[in-house]
Amino acid sequence: MKEFLFGFLMIIVYFAPCALIALLSRKLFKIPDEIFRKILHFILLGSLFVFVFAYKTWWISALSCLVFIIIVYPILKLCERFKQYSYIVTERKKGELKNSLIYVFLMFSVVIFVCWGLLNDKLLVLVSIYAWGFGDALAALIGTKFGKHKLYKKKSYEGTIAMFITSFISVFIILLFRGVIPWYLNLIVAITTGIVTTTVELFTPNGLDTATCPIASMCSTILMLLLFGGLL
């Protein structure tokens, strides 16, 4: 119980100032909608670090993700009654933020269960989710700003390349820090996971990549590490 309460307190300590700073910045500096959405996206990604390292037990960490949904979802639903809510959080359609909350933290709990619970490897949780998370955010920003050449539906070559590069770098850095196998094998794993995650993101319908991409990157990374003898 103490572990759960301490960890959840750390989550609140993380989210409270982040949310306050983001909302004040939105109001004071007139941040464009797409950029503000990605700021919220990065805040969610940063919370994963807290969920993983504020706890010593995997199932308490996974449980905290579910408890977070149970607490925050009704709060967001209540906020939807206020006219300024959708403008402040830049929702493209009603209920987008609270639905994304469910998808993201359910996905967190699943990846925590597999990577930390079954494989006893916290850093693989970060690899699996950050391979998608940072790449997806930068792909949207780069694609919106510089995407001149269409690749598939609304997605551009520029955004897709940004997705791959960011995904590759994220995976490679974490695997180097993990240090279980030589750097050149980590390089191969990172390139493969980057390609797999980018391909899945490219062909996944809008909104579903929150689930498909982390699962794809997780499976790709685990299989490649298994091939190279890199699992703990």
Angle at 200 between CA 195 and CA 204, to 5 degrees: 155
Domain assignment of residue 114, yes or no:
no
Domain end among 88, 108, 128: 108
Cβ neighbors of 20 (< 8 A, separation 6 or more) are: none
Cβ neighbors of 146 (< 8 A, separation 6 or more) are: 156, 158
Residue 3: the pLDDT is: 92
Which residues of the chain have a pLDDT value below 50?
A: none
Q: Structurally, how many domains does the chain consist of?
A: 2
Same domain, 134 and 212: yes
Q: How far apart are CA 42 and CA 104, in angstroms?
A: 12
Residue 68: the pLDDT is: 94
Q: How far apart are CA 218 and CA 152, in angstroms?
A: 24
| Residue 151 DSSP class | E
Residue 87: the pLDDT is: 65
Domain assignment of residue 91, yes or no:
yes
Same domain, 126 and 104: no
pTM: 0.92
Domain assignment of residue 113, yes or no:
no
Domain span including residue 5: 1-108
Domain end among 70, 86, 108: 108
Residue 109: the pLDDT is: 96
